[in-house]
Chains A and B, each alone.
Chain A
C-alpha cells in the first residue's frame, strides 16, 4: 500500500499565505475591527486607574460619575465593534472553509481509482471526514479565538509598555516558563489526544457492534468473549485518558503558576518607580489590572494552540490529496468501432507476481461473453483491464483499435461501463442515484429502468423517485442496491458493459430473472459478464474459462460441454441428472 501524500510545512504555509492574500481585504477588516474593539476593551482598567488617581487627589463625585459613564460607554463600544469584527471574521471563515472543502472534493473526484485503491479507501475516507471537519472547526472557531486573544494580548502588553517601558519589561516575567512548557506540551499533545479519541471511538464501536450482532452473540455464545473484548477497550480508554491527563497536569500547573509572576513583578518595579516618582499610583494599578486581565486571553490562546496545531496537520493532509497527479486526460478523443481486443496482456499489482499471464481475447460488437473460473483466477483483474481502470504491464487492451487507457476518461466511461458487486448507494434521492449515469434521462425512463432490473420494491416507496436513500433515510439492502446499480447501467446505455458478479447479491431466482430482462434491454450491446453461477454462462454466446491467470478454455457452452474439459465437468456436477444418464 502506498499512502496518499501529505503536504510539507512549506507547502502548507504557502497555501495559507495564498488563502490570506486572496481574502486580503476581509482579513484586514477583521483585524482592524478586533484591534479597535480590544482598544475599547482596555479603557475600563485605565479609567479605573484614573479614578484611583483623581480620588486620591481629592476629586469630587461629579468626576467619578463622568469616568464611570465613560467606562460604560467603552464597554458598549467595545461590544459593538467586536460584534462586527466577529461577524466579518465568521464570514471570512465560512468562505475559506467552503472553498477548501469544495476544492478537496473536486480533487478527490479527479483521483485515479488505482491510486485510491492502492492507498486504501480508509485513508481518503478519514481525510474527507475527520480532516475536513477539523480544518473547518479550526478556521471557524479556533483561528478567530486565537486572533482575538492575540490582538488583546498584544494591546494589553502594549498598554503596559505605554504606561512605562520598565513596567512593560517587568510584565514579561512569566513568559519564558510559559513558552517553554507550551513547546514541551505541543510536541506531545496531538498524538496523545488522537490516541485518546481513537480509543474512545473503539469503545463506542464495541458497544454498537455488540448490539448489532446480538443474535450472533447469542447463537455462538460469545457473551463472555464480548465482555472480555470490551473490558480491554475500557482499559485502553482509561490508559489513554491518564496519558493526556499527565500532559495537562504538567502543562497547566506550570502555566497557572506563571500567571501571577507578571503582576508581582509589575508591583515590585512599580513600587520602585513610584518611590522615584517616575509613575503615578494609578498607572501601577492600571498595569496590574491589565495583567490580571491578560490571564483570560492567554489562557484561551494556550488552550487552543493544540487544536490549531491539529488543524494545521489536517490541512497538510487535505493539501496532500491535491499533490496526486489527476487522472490523465487521455490522448485520443474517440476511436472507430467497438471491437474489444486483448493481446498478450500481463498484469501484476504493484510489484507482486503476475496475476494475468498473457491473455488473448477478442470480443465482437454485440457479443455476450461469460467469464467463469475459480476465485483468485484473475477474473476481476481482467474486468478492470477491459474497463481501462488499470493498464496491462505488458500487452494491449484496445477498443476499435485504440488502447482503452488512451481514451479520455469521460469518453471511456460513456462507452465502457463496469459494474462490480460493490454496490454503493449514494446519499440522496432515488433520482440522484440514477441521474448521474444519464443526466438527460426522464423520470419515465428511470422508472422503466428500475422495472427492467426487477426492482419491484420501487413501487412501495413513499415518494417515488424523490424518496431519500442512505444514511438516516431508507436503507437499501444489498440486493436492492445492486438493482439500483444495474438500473444506472440501463440508463447509461454504453456500447460495452462489463458485469463483474453484478448480480451476486440477488437471490438466485431474482438474479436469473434480472439477467434475462437485462439481456433483452441490452440487445446489440457487447456484454462481458463475470459470473459465479453457471446458468449465466449457459445463456452467453461464448464462455471463457479463466484459471490461474490464463484462459484455459473458450467457446460456446455447447462446444465446451462437448469438449469434456474442466467446464464440462463442472456443468455436469451442477446437473446430477446428466451424470446419471
Chain B
C-alpha cells in the first residue's frame, strides 16, 4: 500500500487533473438523457420548433463536450498509468542490476517475468481509480439529487437497486473470469506444445516421429475443444444472467415510473429521463465495483514488487557491500586494504595456491568441487581464502570484483549487438579484436551478416555451443582483469581450435595471474603449473608432463582411458 501511495505522490498534479476530468465526464454522461427528455417534453410534446431546435443543438454540443472530456480523461489516465509503470520498471531494473549473484537462487526467472509482465500493470491500474473513482462517487450523488427532485420514492429504488444489481452481477462476472482462466491456461499449454514441435522440428527430421506428434497434438486439441464446450455452456448462462438481471430491474423501474405517470406524479419526459438515468447510473456503479476488485489485485501485485525489492545480497563475508560508484575511493574503517599489486591466492579448503603472474591449471575429478573452488576464489561465498596476506573476505567487495574475474562456463550472454556483448569487458575495439583473436572467435564474427554490429538475442541461442563458449571467453579476456579464473573455457570447442586457444591464451595472459579449470590435455599442457584436485584436495602439483608420468590418477583423468597411447 505504501508503494502504491508512493506512485501516487510522484505525480500529484496528474492525479488531481484526472479526478477533476473524470468527475466532469461522469456527470456529463447523465446530461444527454436530461436533454433528450427536455427535447421530448418542451419541443415535441409542446410542438415548439424553436425549443426543439434549441435542445437538439444542446444535445450536439454536449456530445462534442463529452467526447472531449472522455478523451482527456482517457489521456490523463493513460499517462498516469504509464508513468507508474515506467517508475516501477526502473526501480525494479535498478534493484535487479545491483543485487548480484544471489538473485537466481532467491527468485525464479518466471517470477520476475510475471512481475515485469503483469504485476507492474496491475499496480499501475490501481492509480486510474483516482480519476473515475472520485468521478463515480460524485456522479452517483448528482444523479441521486436529480432523481430526488423527480420523486424521492423512485430515487430510493434506483439508488439502492443499481448497486444491488451490481453486487449480484459482479461476482458472476468474476466467476466467468475464473472459468475462462482455466481454459486459457490449457490453451497456453497447447500453444506451448505447437511451439515445442516447431523448436524440435529438426530432431523429428533426424529421428522421425512426425505422425505421432501430429496425432498427439490433435488429441490435445480435441481435449481443449471439449473443455471449450464446457466453458461455453457455463459462460453463456452467466452472460445471459448479466444481461437479464439489469434488464429486469430496468423493467421494474419503468413499471413504477409509468404508474406514477398515469397518476400524474411525473411527466412523460421525466419517464423517459428516468429510463436514461438508470442506464447511465450503471457506469459509475460499475466503476466502483470494478475499482474495488482492481484495488485488491493491485495490492497483491504491489506486494510482490516490494518483496522483490526487499531481496538483499548474499553475505559473502566482510563488511557489507557498497553499490558500485556510490562513494568513490571511500574505504570503510573496518575494511582491510587489498594487496597493492598482484599477489598469491591461497584456498585453505583444497590447499591450492595460485601464484601471482602465472598460469595455473586445475584438473578436477569432480566438476562440482571445481565450481565451488572458483566460487571461493572469486568470493561468491564467504571463505578463508587469502589474497597476499589479507583475508579475501575482509577486502572491499568492489575491489575484489574489479580485480578478480571468475568466468563461468555458463555465464550469461545478454541480448544486444555482438559489440555490446563484448563491450561488457572493454569499450575499445582494439582490445575486443585482440580478445577475439585469443579466443579464436574471429570466425564467429565473420560469419555474422553485419559482423560486430549483428544483433544477438539473449543467451545467443542462434549460435552453436562452441561459438557461445568462445564469445564468453573473449568477453572475459577483453576486460583484462588482474586475476582471471576460467571454468571449462573450451569444453565445447573442437580440438584444432582448442589447441589454438591454449597457445594464444598463454601468450595473451603472459605475466598475469590466470587459473584454468579444465581436464583437456591441450590446455593443461600449456600451464606453468598443473594441480590435481581429487576428492576435494590438491593431491598433486607439477608440470603436465611430470604428472602424466608420475600420477596414475592424473593420467586416468586427463587421458580418459586412452592410456594405451602412452605405453
Contacts and interface: CB of A to CB of B under 8 A. Distances in A.
B415 interface: yes
A222 interface: yes
Chain A interface category by residue count: 35 or more
Contacts of A76: 244, 248
Nearest to B121: A200
A417 interface: yes
B293 to A, nearest CB: 21
A229 B498 CA distance: 34
Nearest to B218: A102
A489 interface: yes
Interface in B522-567: 522, 525, 544-545, 548-549, 557, 559-562, 565-566
Interface string A242-259: 000100110011111101
B3 interface: no
B113 A204 contact: yes
A212 B208 contact: no
A217 interface: yes
B198 A108 contact: yes
B272 interface: yes
Interface residues of B, number: 167
B161 interface: no
B405 A389 contact: no
A410 B208 contact: yes
A378 B526 CA distance: 29
Closest 6 interchain pairs by CB? Answer: A213-B412, A436-B209, A260-B63, A90-B232, A68-B255, A532-B494
Given A128-B191, A212-B104, A267-B43, 8 more contacts: A64-B261, A86-B239, A241-B78, A268-B53, A275-B47, A284-B40, A410-B210, A573-B522
A485 B200 CA distance: 11
Interface in A470-524: 470-471, 478, 485, 488-489, 492, 504-505, 507-509, 512, 516
B441 to A, nearest CB: 10
Contacts of A471: 192, 196
A203 interface: yes
7 contacts: A51-B261, A55-B261, A55-B268, A128-B197, A204-B113, A470-B196, A573-B525
A222 B493 CA distance: 27
Contacts of A538: 562, 565
A292 interface: yes
A64 B254 CA distance: 9
B258 A419 contact: no
B429 to A, nearest CB: 17
Nearest to B556: A509
A160 interface: no
Contacts of B49: 271, 275
A295 B2 CA distance: 40
B425 interface: yes
Given A94-B229, A422-B203, A574-B521, A437 B82 contact: no
A87 B251 CA distance: 26
B247 A75 contact: yes
A52 interface: yes
A230 B240 CA distance: 46
B282 to A, nearest CB: 11
A374 B67 contact: no
Contacts of A428: 216
A161 B473 CA distance: 77
A445 interface: no
A509 B370 CA distance: 15
Contacts of B262: 55, 59-61, 64
Contacts of A78: 243-244, 247
Interface in B105-119: 107, 109, 112-113, 115-117
A389 to B, nearest CB: 6
Nearest to B214: A106
A117 B205 CA distance: 12
B205 A413 contact: yes
Contact of B203 (A110, A254, A485): A485
Contacts of B166: none
Interface stretch (A16-24, A129-137, A450-458): A129-137
A72 interface: yes
B408 A215 contact: yes
B93 A207 contact: yes
Contact of A91 (B200, B232, B276, B408): B232
B148 interface: no
A288 interface: yes
B533 to A, nearest CB: 14
Interface in A197-235: 203-227, 229-231, 233-234
Contact of A436 (B64, B71, B213): B213
Given A264-B60, A573-B522, A580-B545, A220 B497 contact: no
A432 interface: yes
A113 B561 contact: no
A140 B241 CA distance: 20
A257 B387 CA distance: 75
Contact of A208 (B85, B101, B109, B525): B109
Interface string B34-46: 0010011001110
B405 A219 contact: yes
A248 B71 CA distance: 8
A80 B240 contact: yes
